[in-house]
Amino acid sequence: MCIRDRINAVFPFDHAQSKLLSLVCRSDPNVDVREEAKKGLLPPLSSENKQIVPYPTFHEMVQTISTPQAKALLNDAAMHEGLRFIHASVQQHTADNKQTVRAFFESCLGDEHLDEWLRILEACCARPDASHALLSEALMMLLELVVCIPAMAARYSHLSDPGSWLLAHMSTSTSSEVRCYAAHLLGAACAHLESGQAAAVASSLLPAIATHVGNPRDIPLANTCHGSIIGLGSLLSFRALPREQVVEVVQALFSLLPHDATPGSDASTLMRWEAAATSLALAGEVGLFGEAIELGEGTDAEAPPADKKSKPDSVALSRRATYDALLMFVQRTHVAHGKNAEIAIAALGRMLCCEPDRSAVCQATGTLLDMCTRNESSELHFALGEALAYLTNGQTEEEECQFDIHKIASDPMFNAARESTTEVRKKEESPEPMGAVLASILERQLVDTNKFGRCAGAIWALSLIKHCATHSAVVEAIPMMHQRLTQLLGDAHEFTQEVASRALSILADAGDEETQTTLLNRLVGQLSGNTSTASVQTNTDSAISDTFGAATEGQVTSYKELCSLAADMNQPDVVYQFLDLANHNLAWNTRRGAAFALASQNRARLEPHMKKLIPKLYRYRFDPHAPTKEAMTRIWREFVTDDRKCIEEHYEEIMKDILQCASSRLWRQREASCQGLAELVRYPFELLEPHFETIWRLLFRLMDDMKETVRVSSLSLSRSLGNMTVKLCNPEEQGSVVVAKERCAAAVRMVLPLLLEEGLLSRADIVKAFSVQHIAKMCEVGGELLEPHVSLIVKVLLESLSSMENQKLSYMQFHTDSLGISGEQLENARVAAANMSPMGQAIRHCLDQVSPSNIKQLVRELRSLIRSGVGVATKCGAASFITSIATFKPTVLADHAGTLLEAVVNGLSDRSATTRKALANAAAHLARISPKGMEQLVQTSLEKNGDGSDADAAESISLVFSELTQYAQDSLKPHLEPVLAVAFVGRNAETKGVQKAWKFVWDENVGSLEGALRLYVDEIASFSVRCLASVSYETRRQAAVALTEATSASGSGVLLESSLPKILPALLAVATGPHFEGIIKVLQALAKLVAVCWKSMNQTEHSDCLAALLRACASTKQGADDQRDALGALIDGVTAADLGESSAQLVLSQLLQMLGDWLAGAEGAEGEDADDSASKKTTVELITSAIQGAAATATWPSASSEQVSELVTLLQDRILSPQSSWPSCRVDALCALGGVLQPESTVREAKAWVPSDEQVGCMLVTLAVSVNEDQTHPVQVASLNALIKLLGSCPAALNNHRAQIQEMVDSVSKVDHQNVMLRAREARRML
C-alpha cells in the first residue's frame, strides 16, 4: 500500500504504466490497497486552473494493457476497470477537442491501436468464465464501435452461426444487460448477411419463445426467451428479415402482449412481455410495423372496458389490435404498476411514430391523455411526454446524450429506409394530433385545480418544447405556453415550479428575436411584481397577477431573486439560464428527467458575466430562504470548481457586495451577509485588511439587529472574526517574525480602539460582553503590541468595571440593612468581583506593557479616573493598578509618583470606605518609591487631619499612615515625630476603624509608652493641647484620654514637668468650660495630672485644679453619673497629692456640704420605692463616693477636728440612725467611721481622730443599734470592725463602757456567720 501511495504521488496522472499498476491493485484482497488504487484512477484537479488533469491517451492505454505481461496480471475485475478507464479517456479527449465519439473512432480507422482495441474487447467477450460486469462493459463498447462505424458490423457476421459466443451470451447469460447488448450486436451483424441467412437466425430464435410460454417457471428458459425476443426485435429494427418472416415474427411478439390487461404474476412473464413491447417499438420506429402489418378494423376511441377479457389466440394480428392491447394495459396499470405502464407508453409512442394512419395516432393520443391526467408519478409523465412527442411529431428532434441500449439499433446509418420513412412523415405532417395535445395541455392541464394535473401538464409541455420546438403548432403556442408556465412559477407544488422554470429556460431560444424579447419582458415583469408589461393576450394579465398574489412568499421568492440577480448584472436574458440551473428536485436525477438538463449550454452563455455574477451568487448561497439558497448553491456549483480560488480572485467584489447588503433594509440580506462574512474572514489577512475595521463596526450593528435570526447569524460571524483577530494578535502563531509583527500590529491598531471606544460603550449587552471577552483575549496574547494602547485600554476598562456592573448590586448597596450585611462588606464584594472579571484580568495583563514611552499618558488617565471616575469598582481598580505599577515597575513610575500622589491624596475624601482604603494603599506605595512624595504626603495628610475634628478626614489619614507603616515603614521613619503624636491621640478614637489604624501605627513604631514619652513628649503634649482646644468634643475627649494614659506611665511626672505649663491651662480651660458628654475624661486627666505633678504646681494651681474638680462635682447641669465620676476623679487626685491646710479644709468642707445636700435632697424626694429606681441607685453610688472621699480627706494632717466631728455626726444622724432612708449606705458609713478612727497607711502621714467620751458613747449606741437591729451580715461585720477600731484608738472607753460593749458583743456571738463570729471574738479579746 505504501508503494501504491508513493506511485500516486510521484507519477503524473497521464502516465500509462502507473495506471496499469493501479488496475492490478484494484483486484487486491486488501480493501486499503483497493481504495488507494482507486485514487490512482480518479483524475485530480490541476493546481493551475483547477480543471481535471488529462488522462493517458487512448493509444497509450491500449498499448499498455495489450502486452502479454499486462494480460497475465489483469483478471476480470482489473480488466473491467481498465475498460472503463480507457472509455473515460476517450470521453475526455472528445470533450476537450469538441468532437463526437463517432468522429474520434472514424479518425482511428486503419490505426493498429483500434484493431488491438477490438481484439481486447473480443477476447473479453470470448472468455468462458468472464464476469457479468466485464461482459456487459465489453459488449457495450463493441456495440458503441459498431454504432459509430457501421461497416465494422460485417466483422461479426460470422457470430450469427450456432455455437458462437455471441449467441451463447444472448441465450444463456443470467444478466439482462449482457443479453440485451448481445442481441443488439447480433442484429447489427445480421444486417450485413443475406436475407436467407438472417431468416435462418430468426427461425432458430422463435422456438425458444414457444418453449418458454409452455413452461414459464423454468428460469434458464426464461433467460433464453428474453434474449431471443430482444434478438428478434433487433433483427426487425435493422430490417434484416424478408417481409413474409416479418409477419411471423411480429405475430409471435404480438402473442406475448398482455391482452388480459394485467402484467402477470411472475417476474419471467413481466420480463417476457416487456421485451416483446420493446421489440415491437423498435420495429414501429423504423416503419416496418406499418409496412408489414395491416391496420385492421377500428375500435371506439375510448379504451376497452375494464371487464373485457380476451385471449391472445382469439385476437387477430393487426396494428389496431396491438395499439388497443397496449392502451388497455396502460389503463389497468398506470396507477398501481407505474413502471409497467411506462414501458407500454414508450412502446406505443415508438410504434406510432411512423404510423401512416393519422386517425389511429389521434385515437391513441386522446386515450393516453385522458387516462394519465392526474397520475402522481413524474417518471410516468416524462415517458408520456416523450411518447406524445413521437406521436405528434414522428420523432424527437434531439437524441439523448447518454448511451441507451433501447435506442442503439435505431441509428439511421444502419438503414436508409428509416431515414426515408421519417422524411416522408415530415412532409405529410398533420396538425391535428399536435393541436389536440397542445389544447389539452394549455386549456386543461396547466390550469387544473389538482396539483398533480398541473404537474403532468408542465412535464408534457416541457417534453413538447424540448423535442418538437420547430413544429408549427408549437411555435404558434409559444406565447400562451410561456404565459401559463410563468404562472406555475408560483405553484404550491415545488416540482411543478421547477418543471415550469426548466421549460421556460428552453423557451428562451424558441421563436424569432422579437418573440424572445417579448417573452423575456413578460417574465421579468411578472417575477419582479410588475404585471403591466406587454402581453400576447391582455385579458390574462389579471389572472397572472392573481396567481402570483395567491402564492406565498416562500413559493415565488427564489424566482424573484433570480430575476433580481439578472437585473443586477444588466443581463435580463440570463434569467432563463438561472431558472434551469436553480432546479434541485430529485426527480431530475432520474433517467428521463436528466435528459432535460441544460447546464453545459448555460455555462457557456453565462461565462462572460461571471465577474458580476460571482458576488451575488456567493451571498445567495447563505440566503435564509431555503429554495433560494438551494437554487443559488446549484448555480454556484455549476460554475465554480474551486471555491477558494474563485473567492480569492473575486474577493474584493464579493466583500463590497456583502458589506453593502449587510446594511440593507431587508433582513434576509443582512442575515445572508452575516454567514457570508463568517466565511470570508477566514481568508488571508492581506485580502481582509482593507475591510477589517468596517467588518468589526458592522458586526456590532448586526449583533444588535432588530431581527432575531440576524442576531443569531451574527454569532457565527462573531466567533470567526473574534478567533481570527485573537490569532492575528499573537505573533507566535504567525509566520515570519518581521511580517508577523507588522501584521499583528496592524490588527491591534485597527481592532483594539474599536472594541474599547465603540464595543464597550454600546447600548447592547451582548456587544459589551463580546467586546470585553475579546479585549481580554487580545491583552493575554498581544504582549508588546499593546504598549502603544495601554493608556487607552486601562482607562476604558477601568471605567467599564463600574459601567458594566450589574445594577442589582447598586440597588443592594442602599438596602444593606435588610440584607444583614454592612455597606463596606458589600462594597468589598463588589470590588472583588470586578477584579476577577475579564476586564480585571485584562488590566493585569497590561501591567507588563507599562514602559517609559507610555507612562506619562497612563498617569494622566489614572489621575483623571481618580479625580472624576464614577463608581467604587472604577476608583478601586485604578488604585489597585497604581499599587501594582509601584510594586512591579517602581523605576518607571518614580518620576511621576508625585503627580499621581497628589490626585490620590485628594481622592481620600471619597465617601466610600472601600475606596478610601484602596487609595490609601496606593498612596503608601507611591510614597515608598518617591522620597519627595513621602514628605509631601506626610505634610499634606497632617494638615488635612488637623486636630482630628473632621471624622472623614481623620479616618482617611489614619488609613494612609496605617498603609505607610505596613508598606513604607523605612521611608516613614524620618517623619515619625508628628505622626506618632497624632497616633497617640487618635488611637483613643471612638470609631473602631480609626482606632485600629492608629493603634497599628503606634504599636509598629513604638517599643513602649515610657520610651515614646521620652522621645516625643513635646510633640504629644503640643498636639494634645491643640486637640483640647478643638471645637470637636470628641477630639477633646481623645486628647484627655491620651493625657490620662500619659500620666500613668512610670516617671511621667518628670517627663511631663516641662510640658505642664501648656497642658494644665488647656485642661483647666476645658474643665471649667461648657459641659459636654466627654468632659469627665478631661476631669480624670486633670485629676491624674494633679496626682502626678502636684509637686511641680504652686498653691494657686492647686486651688484652681481643686476648684475645677469640686465645681464639676457640685454642678447640677450634669447628671448624677457624671457627678459620681467627677467625684471619683477628685478623690483619686487629692488622695495622691499632698495639699496644704487650706486646700484640705476646702475639699473636706465642700464634700460635707455636698453630702448633706445630696442626703437632704434624696430624703425630700417623693416615692416610697425609690431604692428600686435607677436614679436612686445612682444617688446611692454618689453618696457612697462622697462618704469615701470625705473619710479619706478627714485623715489628712491639715484636716480640722471640727470637720471630722461634723462628718461623724452626719454619718450617725443621717445614715446610721434607725430612721435613716439609706440602709444601703450603712456599710460605707461604718467603714468611714472606722477609717476616721484608725486610718490606713497612705503616701503621706495620716492623722487619727480621737473622739471625746461623749462622742464615744454616741458611737457605741449607733454601733449597738446597727448590730442588733440590722440583721444583715455585712452591716454586722462593718459594725464590729468599727467597734474594734474604736477600742484600738480609745482604750479609755473600756473603763466607762465595758458593760455596754460586752453586751453588744455577746448579742452577735451566736450569729451563724463566720465573719461575724471572727469579728466578735476579736472584739471580746480586746475587751
Residue 486 pLDDT more than 60? yes
Task: Tell me the H-state helices in 1094-1136.
Answer: 1099-1114, 1120-1136
Give the integer Cα–Cα distance in Å for 528 and 383.
34
Give the Cα separation of 77 and 84 in Å (integer).
11
pLDDT tens-digit readout, 1241-1271 = 554 555 667 677 677 777 777 777 777 665 6
On the question of pLDDT at 463 being above 80, the answer is yes
27-45 pLDDT tens trace:
778 887 888 777 778 777 5
pLDDT at res. 496: 84
Q: Nearest to residue 342, comparing CAs of 284, 398, 392, 387?
A: 387
Most confident of 288-292, 765-769, 1094-1098: 765-769
Q: Which helix (H) or strand (E) holds 828?
A: helix 823-836
Confirm if 191 and 239 have CB atoms less than 8 A apart. yes
Which of 1284, 1288, 1289, 1285 has the alpha carbon at shortest distance from 1305? Answer: 1284
pLDDT for 827: 79
Q: Give the H or E element holding residue 796.
A: helix 790-803
Cα dist from 1228 to 461, 1149, 1190, whole Å: 132, 19, 11
Residues 448 and 454: beta-carbon distance below 8 Å: yes
Q: What is the pLDDT of residue 655?
A: 92
Q: Which of 111-115, 313-317, 1193-1197, 1203-1207 has the lowest mean pLDDT?
A: 313-317
Pairwise CA distance, residues 671 & 624, whole Å: 7
Q: Give pLDDT tens digits for 722-736.
A: 888 888 887 766 554
Instruction: Indicate if the pLDDT at residue 412 is higher than 50.
Output: no
Is 70 exceeded by the pLDDT of residue 306?
A: no
Q: Which residue has the cell 413544429?
A: 471
Say if residue 989's pLDDT is above 80: yes
Q: What is the 3-state secondary structure (H, E, C) of 725-755?
A: HHHHCCHHHCCCHHHHHHHHHHHHHHHHHHH
Dig out the grid coordinates for 732 from the structure.
Answer: 507566535
- pLDDT band (50, 70, 90) for residue 566: low
CA distance 769 to 787: 24
- Per-residue pLDDT, 689: 86
pLDDT reported for residue 527: 45
Q: Which has more confidence, 403 or 348?
A: 348
- Interacting residues of 622 by C-beta distance below 8 A, sequence separation 6+: 629, 671, 672, 673, 674, 675, 676
* Angle (CA) 132 134 139, round 5°: 95
CB-based contact 462:394 (threshold 8 Å): no
Contact call for residues 692 and 720 (beta carbons, < 8 A): no
Report which of 723, 807, 711 is spatially closest to residue 764, judged by C-alpha positions: 711
pLDDT tens string 999-1036: 998 888 887 888 888 888 888 888 888 888 888 888 88
List 52's β-bridge partners, or say none. Answer: 45
Q: Among 486-495, 629-638, 1190-1199, which is the least confidently predicted range? A: 1190-1199
CB 536 within 8 A of CB 479: yes
pLDDT in tens, 796-848: 888 888 887 777 777 777 777 677 777 777 777 888 888 888 888 888 888 88
CA–CA separation, 586 vs 66, rounded Å? 42
d(CA 19, CA 11): 9
Min mean pLDDT across 439-443, 1011-1015, 1157-1161 is at 1157-1161
Q: Where are the beta strands (DSSP E) in 834-884?
A: none
For 1173, residues 6+ apart whose C-beta sits below 8 A from its C-beta are 1167
What grid cell was written down for 638?
455549476
* Euclidean distance between CA atoms 458 and 850, whole angstroms: 75
Instruction: Name 1249's Cβ contacts closer than 8 Å, sequence gap at least 6.
Output: 1194, 1195, 1201, 1204, 1205, 1208, 1236, 1237, 1289
Highest mean pLDDT: which of 362-371, 781-790, 994-1003, 1151-1160?
Answer: 994-1003
- Which of 1038, 921, 1045 is CA-nearest to residue 986? 1038
Phi, psi of 45 (to 5 degrees): -90, 145
Provide the mean pLDDT of the chain. 75
Amino acid 534: pLDDT: 33
Please, which residues bridge with residue 45 across strands?
A: 52
- Whole-number Å distance between alpha carbons of 676 and 688: 13
Q: Give exposure, 497-535, as e/b (b: 16+ Cβ within 10 Å).
A: bbbbbbbbbbbbebbeeebbebbbebbbbbbeeebeeeb
Q: Which grid coordinates are listed for 1083?
A: 476631669
Does the structure show a pLDDT above 50 at 454?
yes
Give the model confidence (pLDDT) of 844-896 as tens digits: 888 888 888 889 999 999 888 888 888 888 889 889 999 999 989 888 888 88
Q: How many CB atoms lie within 10 A of CB 1001?
A: 28
Amino acid letter for position 25: C
pLDDT digits (tens, 9 = 90+) for 1298-1320: 777 777 777 777 676 777 777 77
Which of left, alpha, beta for 948 (phi over 0: left; psi -120 to 50: alpha)?
A: left
Give pLDDT, residue 551: 38
Go through the chain and tell me how many residues it has: 1327
Q: How far is CA 1320 from the centre of its chain?
A: 96
> Rounded CA gap, 965 and 956, in Å?
14
| pLDDT for position 577 | 55
Q: Which of 143-152, 411-420, 778-787 has the lowest mean pLDDT?
A: 411-420
Q: Which of 46-50, 276-280, 816-820 has the highest mean pLDDT?
A: 276-280
Q: CA separation (Å) from 1199 to 926, 1142, 1150, 1241? A: 65, 9, 13, 16
- Helix ranges (H only) for 640-666 are 643-649, 651-662
The lowest-confidence range among 63-67, 397-401, 1032-1036 is: 397-401
Give the confidence band of 1052 by pLDDT, cuts at 50, 70, 90.
Answer: low
Instruction: Give the number of other Cβ atoms within 10 Å of residue 20's Cβ.
Output: 22
Residue 1295 pLDDT grade (very low, low, confident, very high; cuts 50, 70, 90): low
Query: C-alpha distances in angstroms, 223 versus 256, 268, 270, 344?
Result: 15, 8, 12, 21
Please state, for a pLDDT cut of 90, what percent of the chain lies above it: 1
Q: Are 830 and 873 within 8 A, CB to CB?
A: yes
Residue 283: closest CA among 361, 231, 208, 227: 231
Q: What φ, ψ does residue 991 adopt, rounded to 5°? A: -75, 130
Asked whether the predicted pLDDT for residue 954 surpasses 70, the reply is: yes
Higher pLDDT, 586 or 819: 819
Query: What is the 3-class SS of 79-130, one letter each residue?
Result: HHHHHHHHHHHHHHHHHHCCCCHHHHHHHCCCCHHHHHHHHHHHHHHHCCCC
% of the chain at pLDDT higher than 70: 73
Residue range 215-225: mean pLDDT, rounded: 70
Longest dimension (CA), the chain: 191
Q: Which position has the higher pLDDT, 533 or 952?
A: 952
pLDDT of 596: 47
- Beta strands, E only, 682-731: none
Measured from the Cβ of residue 219, the count of other Cβ atoms closer than 10 Å reads: 10
Residue 323 has pLDDT above 80, yes or no: no
Locate 854 and state its grid cell: 507610555
- The pLDDT-based confidence of 218 (bands split at 50, 70, 90) is low
Helix then strand then coil, in percent of the chain rounded to 5, is 75, 0, 25
